[in-house]
Amino acid sequence: MPGRTLIRMLTFASFVTPSFLGATAWIFLAAPHSGWLNRAWVALTGAPRGFLNIYTLAGAVCVIALYSYPYAFAFVSSALELVPSEMERSAELLGANWLRTTWRITLPLVRPAIIAGALMSFLEAIAEFGTPAFLLIPARQQVITTQLYLFFQYPSRPNLAAAYALPLLAVTVSLFLLQQRLLRRGRFTTVTGKGGVRVPFRLGPWRWPVFAICMAPPIFSLILPYTALLATSLSHAWGRGPVPGNLTFAWYHWALVENQGARRAIAHSVSYAAAAATIATALAVCSAYAVSRRLLPGARILGYLAMAPFVVPGIVLAIGFFAAYARPPLVLYGTAWMLIVAFATRFLPIAYAGSESALRSLDLELENAARTLGSGRLRTFGKITIPLLRRSILANWLMVFIPSLRELSSAVFLFTPATAVITNVIFDLSDEGNFEPLSALGIIMMALTFGLVAVAYRLFGGAVFGQRQRA
Amino acid sequence: MTESAPHSDEVMPGGRTLSRRAMLGAGLGIVGQALLGADTGRRPAEGAAAPADEASLYAEAKKEGKVVWWTAHYQLDAAEAVRDAFVAKYPGIEVQFIRQTAQVIYQRLTQNLKAGVRELDVFASTDEAHYTALKKQGVLAAYRPLGLGNLPQAFQNVDPDGAYHVGALGLVIINYHTKLTIPPQKWTDLLDPRWKDQITVGHPGFSGYVGNWVVAMWDKFGWDYFTKLAKNNPKIGRSINDTVTDIVSGERLVGAGSDGTSLDSKSRGNPVDIQFPADDAILIVSPVAVLKDAPHPNAARLLESFYYTKEYSLAMSKTSNYTLRADVPAPSGVPIDRVKWYRNKVERLEKGVPEAIAKWRETFGV
Amino acid sequence: MSAAAPILIARRRPDLSPGVWTVAAAILLFMVVVPLAWILVASVHSDQDNRLTPANYVEAFTKSIYLQPIRNSLILAALSAAPTCRAAP
């Protein structure tokens, strides 16, 4: 199929794009009266009004699905990589065409992965805060996460929020356990294909239609939204549309020079994300090491603890942090640490999973040699293990840094104006409908992210990302 | 509980229709006619001793170097204009500000107080009830800002103990897209089914202006007003200022908005205008206060005093908000003389706003 | 590795490593267990007077304005997950 690398890259790009930014862009595109797509429709057909309305449950579903499909993509494509080509080839030799082969051979083999991917998307969607807040409050529809947010508004009910959050946690935990079971069972099926050779599939004349289908999600999740965001960030008023006289760079000047709050938020985002990434990576390496070498009694529990935040929705984690660290004896609220530690916790599982798999593939001989020569455990760890893991550590660091930079759902509960990050400013700007500076900040945030991704790609090559994407 | 007449007795005894000019006249009466023509660079009302005070206050504030200001009084660009004017007048003091809806900044302040976080110097919300609550907790500093005498007299002592003062005046009115030739004339017109899917409002759980407006509508027309309004499927934003975005973009045609933001947008060439409702515009008297444990106490005092300078009123007028001083005319093109207004009493707001938020959530689902 | 060689007969330094792992474990407790435990604690205390009470659960799961969001969340998540069953290249 043409453009395989392109599709992988685009999928990764929609993976790193936070869905609240996508939701904002879709307001510009599909607000019932003023959305550009609706206006184009009205202009073309003369209909009294457009047919799209983003301020609906369906609208929110579409936006969330667009940004959560990369999870399914990651699961399914990793499963597909294990499907041996021989099985598909033998089906073909027996006279099956490719559609039939895919339907009868390939799909059953990856079905568990598909279901696991769908569960993953479900987990993401139910924990999602930004998109419902932007799209569903105007639609007068509430979901659990927006209701939790309202509990923290005046007159605030933090304890009621805690009670209300626990079932959400129960749902995510049980779904995660279900997903683990499915994956374990799935592995047995695909493991039979171990050692099989992968031969690229020839689609023949079907190439282009398949390519078109694969390109559809990126068009709606990336190309249209980023165009809308860019256009808005360069407009005096987005409602006027792309007409002459509406073009301005003022909002970038506003965000980068003029508005101190925005400038500070950018600095905070970068420094907090860096600190969170450092803490998470260090902690992940240490605990993964302790677990894999069984250095502590009950080391396995350490591993479970490090993976636990994976199933805790960001908003629930934030409520916990608020309950625990916004009052004496230990007050982190109001300091940068509140956000740093929350980010580090939230994305610790990514770093832990990465460190664990890297440690597992590490040869023990070198370590043992050093130990035999009398080097202490700590010294061996520092002088032997860490240098060997350098690449993986850097990759983990980045994979925590990137989501920390764009994290909204926990930041919204934990910041004070003195510690606001980019996403806080974006969320605050949305309340007044200040969409132009919001878009400019969003573009700046994503430029930072993609810049980093590009650097990482240069340093580590695509393989690291292809693999990490699954974490 | 609220005042029955559109003109507040306590503000303007005598039963006349209170007008902008009358209010200013009252203010001027106190200030004294002789000071009217005074040099604009000085602040006439403070008398001879004032400049020295201001100079020493500035010197002390400069040592502190910065001031942290949370405001809900007006739209973002007005807050930026105030910041710019302050920094121009008092170089060397950095102004860190956020503009957010009243309930949001109040909530953040409450959380900070609970956690013992000292971060805020000057608190400027649009819900007067916040200040009575904060005063009860004893977290506001009693301070009489310099130049307070520049205010219309009726507004000089909103709090008898001087824990907070008037920082901004504004109205909730009907705003609309200019493609409407005949906008709704009164609040009850919004209940007409012809405005179905065309109305935009803010949320009382976020915006102080909206909370004020909801309580006023509730007292005037009963809660039934909102059950009927809900049938017209209004778009519910958060800030009252969001209504202007909706109208300018053509997303909605009419809203319950604030005069300042609407007129500011109009002055930039956007297709929006305002209609003073026949059944009363809602007057919002927005207070400002210095926190008792402000990290930058003198800079905080300087900023609060700045509210009564000519520069502040000029920044207000530049962004189409009402001015606080007589010597800066109200924003052009808005003859407010005959505006009929209605104001909620603070005792009513204390209980009424939280109740209104709860009822609103039941009626509108958010 | 080069550093390891001269230590062949060197006296073993006291092994600090259990301390390091314990610190890591303590940080994990502080980051993961404490916040989640506090949610539990908070959930059974009243917002008004901080008394021990199950009232929050009663309020959260009987009032229709709080139940509707739960339904919406489930619908939203189920529908968002459905299209991801699409096979990838």
In this predicted structure, what is the pLDDT of residue A301? 86
Q: Chain A residue closest to B127 (CA)?
A: A154
Q: Render pLDDT for A375-398 as a digit per residue (tens, 0 to 9).
A: 888 888 888 888 888 888 988 999
Mean pLDDT of B107-111: 90
Does a cis peptide bond (omega within 30 degrees of 0) precede residue A155? yes
In this predicted structure, what is the pLDDT of residue B4? 41
In this predicted structure, what is the pLDDT of residue A132? 93
Residues A90, A91, A97, A101, CA torsion sign: negative
Rounded CA-CA distance B255/B237 in Å is: 11
pLDDT at C4 over 90: no
pLDDT band, residue B80 (cuts 50/70/90): very high
φ, ψ dihedrals at B316, nearest 5°: -65, -45
In this predicted structure, what is the pLDDT of residue B139? 96
Mean pLDDT of C27-44: 93
Q: Render pLDDT for A55-101 as a digit per residue (tens, 0 to 9).
A: 999 999 999 988 887 777 777 777 676 666 666 777 777 777 777 77
For residue C33, the chain A residues in CB contact (below 8 A) are: 305
pLDDT band, residue A203 (cuts 50/70/90): low
pLDDT band, residue B35 (cuts 50/70/90): very low
Q: Render pLDDT for C63-72 as a digit per residue (tens, 0 to 9).
A: 888 999 999 9
A236 within domain boundaries: no
For residue B203, the chain A residues in CB contact (below 8 A) are: 137
**Amino acid, single-letter form, for residue B346:** V
Residue where the block lists tokens 């309950």: A323
Taking CB atoms and an 8 Å limit, are C70 and A144 in contact across chains? yes
Q: Chain B residue closest to C69 (CA)?
A: B365
Beta-bridge partners for B363: none
In this predicted structure, what is the pLDDT of residue A454? 87
In this predicted structure, what is the pLDDT of residue A401? 94
CB B90 within 8 A of CB B302: yes
- The distance of A254 to chain C (nearest Cα, Å) reads 36
- The distance of B8 to chain C (nearest Cα, Å) reads 35
B203 interfaces chain A, CB cutoff of 8 Å:
yes
To the nearest whole number, what is the mean pLDDT of chain B? 84
pLDDT at A189 over 70: no
φ, ψ dihedrals at C60, nearest 5°: -65, -30
Q: Which domain holds residue A318?
A: 260-471
In this predicted structure, what is the pLDDT of residue A383? 85
**Amino acid, single-letter form, for residue B53:** D
Number of A/B CB contacts below 8 angstroms equals 133
3-state class percentages of chain A: helix first, strand second, coil last, to nearest 5: 75, 0, 25
> Helices A158-191 and C64-81, interaxial angle, to 10°?
20
Instruction: Return the closest-CA partner of residue A386 out of A462, A262, A469, A289.
Output: A289
CB B331 within 8 A of CB B74: no
A463: number of CA atoms within 13 Å, CB side?
Answer: 3
**Amino acid, single-letter form, for residue B65:** G
Cα distance from N-terminal residue to C-terminal residue, chain A: 27
Mean pLDDT of B305-314: 95
In this predicted structure, what is the pLDDT of residue A110? 73
For residue B366, the chain C residues in CB contact (below 8 A) are: none
pLDDT band, residue B337 (cuts 50/70/90): low
C31 interfaces chain A, CB cutoff of 8 Å:
yes
A267 within domain boundaries: yes
How much of chain C, in percent, has pLDDT values that exceed 90? 49
Instruction: Return the closest-CA partner of residue B205 out of A150, A160, A417.
Output: A150
> Helices A207-218 and A4-16, interaxial angle, to 10°?
10
What are the structural domains, with CATH classification, of chain B?
A: 49-168+285-318 (3.40.190.10), 170-283+339-364 (3.40.190.10)
Q: How many domains does chain A have?
A: 1
Q: Which of residues 41-70 of C touch A (CB under 8 A)?
A: 41-47, 56-57, 59-61, 65-66, 68-70
pLDDT at A207 over 50: yes
In this predicted structure, what is the pLDDT of residue A23? 95
Which chains contact A through at least 3 pairs of Cβ atoms less than 8 Å apart? Answer: B, C
- The distance of B355 to chain C (nearest Cα, Å) reads 15
In this predicted structure, what is the pLDDT of residue A404? 95
pLDDT band, residue A198 (cuts 50/70/90): low
Rounded CA-CA distance A116/A175 in Å is: 10
* b/e per residue A58-78 (b: at least 16 CB within 10 A): ebbbbbbbbbbbbbbbbbbbb
C65 interfaces chain B, CB cutoff of 8 Å:
yes
Residues B109, B115, B116, B119, CA torsion sign: negative
Q: Render pLDDT for B115-133 as a digit per residue (tens, 0 to 9).
A: 888 999 999 999 999 999 9
Which residues, at least 6 apart from C66, have a Cβ–Cβ distance to it below 8 Å? A147, A164, C59, C60
CB A152 within 8 A of CB A323: no
CB B28 within 8 A of CB B151: no
pLDDT at C50 over 50: yes
Mean pLDDT of A415-431: 91
B156 interfaces chain A, CB cutoff of 8 Å:
no
φ, ψ dihedrals at A170, nearest 5°: -60, -45
In this predicted structure, what is the pLDDT of residue B252? 94
Cα distance from N-terminal residue to C-terminal residue, chain B: 27
Three-class SS state of B66: strand
Residue where the block lists tokens 């958010």: B366
For residue A61, the chain C residues in CB contact (below 8 A) are: 76, 79-80
Quote the strand ranges of chain B, DSSP E: 66-71, 94-99, 122-124, 165-177, 199-201, 235-236, 254-258, 272-275, 281-290, 341-342
In this predicted structure, what is the pLDDT of residue A463? 52
The tokens of A417 are what? 């104006």
A160 within domain boundaries: no
pLDDT at A196 over 50: no
How much of chain A, in percent, has pLDDT values that exceed 90? 41
A386 within domain boundaries: yes
B295 interfaces chain A, CB cutoff of 8 Å:
no
Q: What is the CATH number of the domain that holds A402?
A: 1.10.3720.10
Report chain B's C-alpha Rg in angstroms.
20
In this predicted structure, what is the pLDDT of residue A37? 92
In this predicted structure, what is the pLDDT of residue C44? 95
Instruction: Return the closest-CA partner of residue A190 out of A109, A114, A107.
Output: A109
A281 within domain boundaries: yes
pLDDT band, residue B86 (cuts 50/70/90): very high
Instruction: Return the closest-CA partner of residue A29 out of A215, A249, A255, A230.
Output: A230
* b/e per residue B215-251 (b: at least 16 CB within 10 A): bbbbbbbebebbebbeebebbbbbbbbbbbbbbbbbb
In this predicted structure, what is the pLDDT of residue C83? 67
Q: Which of A86-90, A398-402, B234-238, B243-247 has the lowest mean pLDDT?
A: A86-90
A254 within domain boundaries: no
The tokens of A232 are what? 């808005």
CB B45 within 8 A of CB B27: no
The tokens of B96 are what? 């860190």
Best-predicted range by mean pLDDT (A163-167, A195-199, B87-91, B360-364): B87-91
Best-predicted range by mean pLDDT (A324-328, A385-389, B168-172): B168-172
pLDDT at B301 over 80: yes
B252 interfaces chain A, CB cutoff of 8 Å:
yes
pLDDT at A335 over 90: yes
- The distance of A290 to chain C (nearest Cα, Å) reads 7
Taking CB atoms and an 8 Å limit, are C68 and B365 in contact across chains? yes
DSSP assignment letter at C40 = H
Mean pLDDT of A240-267: 87
- The distance of A147 to chain B (nearest Cα, Å) reads 8
Residues C31, C37, C41, C44, CA torsion sign: positive
- The distance of B325 to chain A (nearest Cα, Å) reads 27
Rounded CA-CA distance A137/B242 in Å is: 13
Beta-bridge partners for B281: B341
Kindly give the pairing relationship between strand B165-177 and strand B254-258: antiparallel
CB B31 within 8 A of CB B152: no
Three-class SS state of B14: coil
Mean pLDDT of C7-34: 74
A349 within domain boundaries: yes
Mean pLDDT of A166-195: 71
SS (H, E, C) A73-118: HHHHHHHHHHCCHHHHHHHHHCCCCHHHHHHHHHHHHHHHHHHHHH
Q: Render pLDDT for B59-68 as a digit per residue (tens, 0 to 9).
A: 999 999 999 9
Q: Which long-range contacts (CB under 8 A, 24 or more apart) does B1-8 make?
A: B1/B219, B1/B345, B1/B347, B1/B348, B1/B352, B2/B215, B2/B216, B2/B219, B2/B342, B2/B343, B2/B344, B2/B345, B2/B348, B3/B342, B3/B343, B3/B345, B6/B280, B6/B340, B6/B341, B6/B342, B7/B340, B7/B341, B8/B343
A249 within domain boundaries: no
A451: number of CA atoms within 13 Å, CB side?
Answer: 8
